[in-house]
Amino acid sequence: MLYREAGQFKTSYQADGQIFPIMQDRIALLALLAVAIVFVPLLASPYVLSAILIPFLIFSLAAIGLNILTGYAGQLSLGTAAFMAVGAFASYNFILRIPGLPVLVAFILGGLSAALVGIAFGLPSLRIRGFYLAAATLATQFFVVWCLTKIPYLTNYSTSGVITAQPIVILGYNFDTPDRKYLLVLAVVAVMALLAKNMIRSNVGRSWMAVRDMDVAAEVIGFRLMRTKLLAFAVSSFYCGVAGALYAYAYLGTVEPEAYNLDLSFRILFMIIIGGVGSVLGSFLGAAFIVLLPVLLNVVAHSLALPTSVASNLELMVFGALIIFFLIVEPHGLARLWQIGKEKLRLWPFPH
Amino acid sequence: MKRFASIIAVVLLAASGAAIAQPAEQYIALPSYRVGPYAAGGSGFYGGIIDYFNLVNLSGGVNGVKISWEECETEYNPSRGVECYERLKTKNGGATLVEPLSTGVAYGILDRLAVDKIPMTMIGYGRSDAANGKVFPYVFPLITSYWNQAAAMIKYLGDKEGGMAKLKGKKIVHLYHDSAFGKEPLPVLEALSKQYGFELIKIPVTPPGSEQQSQWLQIRQAKPDHVILWGWGSMNAVAIKTAQRNGFPREKILGVWWAGSEEDTVPTGDAAKGYSAMTFNTPGNYPVMDEIRKKLYDAGKGNMADSTRIGSVYHMRGVSAAILWVEAMRTAQEKFGKGKRITGEQMRWGLENLNVDEARQKSIGAFGMLPVVKTSCDDHEGSGAVKVQQWDGKKWNAITPNWIVGDKALTRKLLEESSAAYAAEKKITPACIK
C-alpha cells in the first residue's frame, strides 16, 4: 500500500539516474541514517556499540571491498584479510613515523598502500582466471602475514610482533569512547559505501562488469583489460585496507599479524556469498548475517540455559544449517531476497 | 518484517536488560572456548575453574559469598573474544575478574581493563612485561610468564649438562609457532645465548604447523644438543611424530607448558615417550582433586563430560587458577569487609596482595600443586617458578623435585625496558594504585 510509486514521474536524466529511484526508498534510507547517527549513539549500550555495531560496519566495508573485486569485476580473491593487514600496519607505521599526521590521512595512506599491494598481486589476473586466480591471491595472504612477522621494522621492533594502535585524535578531538568510535566508523563506511555505489554506476563499474561477464568480448569492444582489472584490484584493496585500519584502531586496539589470517578472508568471502555477490546492499546484509547471527544464537542458547559446550556446538550447527538453507532457497544471496520482497511489495495486493 | 523486528528486540533486551544487581554473589566473566581448534585445552582449563568454583560454593562460598560466573564462547578468535568481554562485563552487577586464556583476546581487551576497572589474569601466557603493576595495574600474568619460563628452561638445560658453564658451544634449537606467542621468549633466549655462549638456532613453524618435515630436516642437519619446542595446539603432536620419524631422540626435546598436556602426547602414541615439557603444576594427585571427584563428579555435578580428565594438565591448571582467584577474594575481603561482595577494584587489590604460601596450600589441599605465589605492585607474577615433567608413555611425571627459577635479574631488566616503552607509547605515568 505504502510502497507504491504511482505519481512519481521522472522528468530529467538526473531524476532517472539516481541511486534510489523510488521516493519511499529515499525516505527510508534517510530515516535509517538519521536513526544511526542520532538515536543509536544515544540509546544503544556500550556493548551494542563496541561489540556489535562497530565490527558489523567494519566487516561491511571489507565486504564491499571484496564485492568490488569478486562481485563486480569477477576476479575471485582469497587475500582480503591480507589487504586489511596491509592497511592496518601501514596506517600504524605512518602515524608512528610521521609526527602530527592526521589519523584520517593515515587511514587513506594505509588504504593506498593496500592498493599498491593489491595491484602487485593482481598482476596474475591478467593471465589466469577463476579458481586459479583464487589460488594466486592466496599467496598474498601468506606473503603479507609472513612479511609482517619477519620484518620487525613493520611492527616497530615489538618483541611479540603485536602492534598497539595509537589513540584516534582528529582535530584535537579524542575518539576514545564506544559512541565516538561508532560515529567515526559510521561516517567512514557511509561515505565509502556511497562512493562505491557511484563508482559501480559509472563507466568504471560498467567496464568491471563487462570484464566479469566476458572478458574477451569486453576487450573486443574496446575496454583495456589490464587497466580495468588492475583498477578493480586497486580499488578493492583500498577498501579492504581502510577496513583493516578501522579494525585495528576502532575495534581491537591491538593487533598481531595472525589476526588477519586466512580464516578472516574466508569469513568475508562468505559474507558476500550469503549477502549477495555484486551488490553493495548485499555486503551489509552478509556482514550482518555473519557477525550478528552467532551472537544472536549464543544469546538465545544462553537464555535457554543450555550448558556452554552444548550451546557452542549447537550454534555451529544452526549456523551451518542456516547457510545451507539460505543458499538453497536463494543462491543469489540475501540482497536478492530483499529485491524480490521489494518487487512483491510494489505489486501488492494484486500480484500477477 | 515483524519477525525481524522481534529478533532485534530479543537481541537488544538480552544485551541491555540483564544488568540486575545480585550483590550476594561474586561474579566472574569467563570468555571460554569449548569448540574450535583449541577446544581440548579450553574445556579442560575452564572445566577445572568451574569445578573448583562449585566446590567452594558447596562449602558455602568465600566467607559466605557465593561465586557466580558466566561463560561465552570465543572459539579462540580475538574478534569474538572482544564481543564476549563486552557482553559479560556489565552482567550481574559487573564482572570482577576476567580470564580469556588467549593471547589474542587478552591483547584486544588489555586497554579496556583500566577503564572498566576489571582485573584480568593471564595465567601462563600473554605479555611478560605486564608483571610490572605500575604500568599494567589491572593485568596479572600470575604464577609465571613466558620470559621466566624461557630463563628456567635454559637453567634446567644448563643443570642437565652439569653446570651453566657447560652450555658454551652447545647448540639449542628454538622451534616455535610463528606468532606473537612463539616470538615472546626470543629476547630472553638471545640474551642468555650471549651470556652463556650457546648457539641459538631459531626455526619458525607457520601456524597451525601440521607439516614440519623441512624444519626437522634442518634440525637433523644442525645436530643440536637440545630442541625447545615452543608449540601450541596441533603443532605439538606433529613435532613429536616428525621427530620420531627423523630419528631425533625425544629426550632432547623440551616443550613449552602449552606443549605439555595429555592432549599433546596421547595422540602421538609411543612417539612421545621420554619427551619432557615445562609445567607450573606438579603432576600427581592432591586432596583437592579427590574432593572434586567425590563431591562433584560422584554427585553428577562435574563440569567436564569425561571424568578421567580430572587432574589432567589442563584441568589442574584451571583448578590452580581458580584457587588463586578465590584466595584473592579472601585477601580482598579481609581488607574491605568479610562476607561482602567485593568490587573489581577491590579484587585488583586482592590479586596484588596475594600470598598463597605452603601453609595456605596445605589447608586448601593443594600442597605442592603450584609454586608459592606472592604478589606485589612491582611483581604481578608472584612466583616465576616452574617444573619439568616427562611423559612415560601413560602419564606425566615431575622430573625436577624442586621448583626451578631462571635468571630473574635478566627477565626483570627486560621487563622494565619493555613496560617503560609501553608506558611511553600509551602515555601512562607508572605508579602503584593504593
Residue A111 pLDDT more than 70? yes
Q: Is the pTM of this model over 0.80?
A: yes
Contacts of B204 in chain A (CB under 8 A): 149
Q: CA–CA separation, B262 vs A6, rounded Å?
A: 71
Integer angstrom CA distances of residue B236 from B132, B217, B232, B260, B399? 31, 17, 6, 9, 20
Contacts of A166 in chain B (CB under 8 A): 425
Contacts across the A-B interface (CB distance below 8 Å): 119
Biggest CA–CA distance in chain B, Å, is 76
Q: What is the pLDDT of residue B363?
A: 93
pLDDT digits (tens, 9 = 90+) for A41-94: 999 988 899 889 999 999 999 999 999 999 999 999 999 999 999 999 999 999
The partner residue sitting opposite A252, judged by closest CB among B7, B78, B127, is B78
Q: What is the pLDDT of residue B3?
A: 52
Contacts of A159 in chain B (CB under 8 A): 183-184, 186-187, 418
pLDDT digits (tens, 9 = 90+) for A299-312: 888 888 887 778 87
Among candidate residues A66, A75, A64, the one with its CA nearest the CA of residue A281: A64
Contacts of A141 in chain B (CB under 8 A): none
Tell me which residues of chain A have a C-beta less than 8 Å from any C-beta of chain B: 45-48, 50-52, 55, 142, 146, 149, 159-162, 164, 166, 251-259, 261, 263, 292, 294-296, 298-300, 302-303, 308-309, 311-313, 315-316
Task: Kindly determine whether residue A251 and residue B82, on different chains, have CB atoms separated by under 8 Å.
Answer: yes
Distance of CA A287 to the CA centre of its chain: 7
Q: Which of B30, B79, B115 would best serve as a mutation to test chain A binding (most A beta carbons within 10 A)?
A: B79
Contacts of B35 in chain A (CB under 8 A): 309, 312-313, 315-316
SS3 labels along chain A: CCCCCCCCCCCCHHHHCCCCCCHHHHHHHHHHHHHHHHHHHHHCCHHHHHHHHHHHHHHHHHHHHHHHHHHHCCCCCCCHHHHHHHHHHHHHHHHHHCCCCCHHHHHHHHHHHHHHHHHHHHHHHHCCCHHHHHHHHHHHHHHHHHHHHHCHHHHCCCCCCCEECCCCEECCEECCCHHHHHHHHHHHHHHHHHHHHHHHHCHHHHHHHHHHHCHHHHHHCCCCHHHHHHHHHHHHHHHHHHHHHHHHHHHHCEECHHHHCHHHHHHHHHHHHHHCCCCHHHHHHHHHHHHHHHHHHHHHHHHCCCCHHHHHHHHHHHHHHHHHHHHHHCCCCHHHHHHHHHHHHHHCCCCC
- Rounded to the nearest angstrom, the minimum Cα separation between B34 and chain A is 6
- Rounded to the nearest angstrom, the minimum Cα separation between A307 and chain B is 9
| Residues in CB range of A23: below 8 A, 6 or more apart | A5, A8
Task: Kindly determine whether residue B11 and residue A296, on different chains, have CB atoms separated by under 8 Å.
Answer: yes
Q: What is the pLDDT of residue A67?
A: 95
* Beta carbons of B97 and B348 less than 8 angstroms apart: no
Strand B199-205 and strand B171-177: the pairing is: parallel
Residue A24 pLDDT more than 50? yes
Task: Kindly determine whether residue A47 and residue B15, on different chains, have CB atoms separated by under 8 Å.
Answer: yes
Core vs surface per residue A92-126: b (16+ CB within 10 A) or e: bbbbeeeeeeebbebbbbbbbbbbebbeebbebbe
Q: What is the pLDDT of residue B18?
A: 42
Q: Which of B16, B35, B113, B190 would best serve as a mutation to test chain A binding (most A beta carbons within 10 A)?
A: B35
Q: What is the pLDDT of residue A352?
A: 66
Task: Kindly determine whether residue B184 and residue A159, on different chains, have CB atoms separated by under 8 Å.
Answer: yes
The answer to which of A110-114, A289-293, B371-375 has the lowest mean pLDDT is A289-293
Q: What is the pLDDT of residue B20?
A: 42
Contacts of B112 in chain A (CB under 8 A): 253
| Mean local confidence (pLDDT), A292-320 | 83
Contacts of B181 in chain A (CB under 8 A): 160
- Rounded to the nearest angstrom, the minimum Cα separation between A253 and chain B is 6
Residue B80: all three cell numbers together:
569474538
Residue A292 pLDDT more than 70? yes
Residue A190 pLDDT more than 50? yes
Does the predicted interface ipTM exceed a cut of 0.90? no
Neighbours of A187 (CB within 10 A): 13
In chain A, the percentage of residues whose pLDDT exceeds 90 is 54
Strand B373-374 and strand B355-356: the pairing is: antiparallel
What string of pLDDT tens digits covers the 434 residues of chain B?
A: 445 555 555 444 444 444 444 447 899 999 999 887 788 889 999 999 999 999 999 999 999 999 999 998 888 888 889 999 999 999 888 999 999 998 888 988 988 898 899 999 999 887 888 999 999 999 999 999 999 999 999 999 999 999 899 999 999 999 999 887 888 899 999 999 999 999 999 999 987 788 899 999 999 999 999 999 999 888 999 999 999 999 999 999 999 999 999 999 999 988 999 999 999 999 999 999 999 999 999 999 888 888 889 999 999 999 999 999 999 999 999 999 888 999 999 999 999 999 999 999 999 999 999 999 999 999 999 988 999 999 998 999 999 989 999 999 999 999 999 899 888 888 889 999 87
Q: On the CB side of B227, how many CA atoms lie within 13 Å of its CA?
A: 27
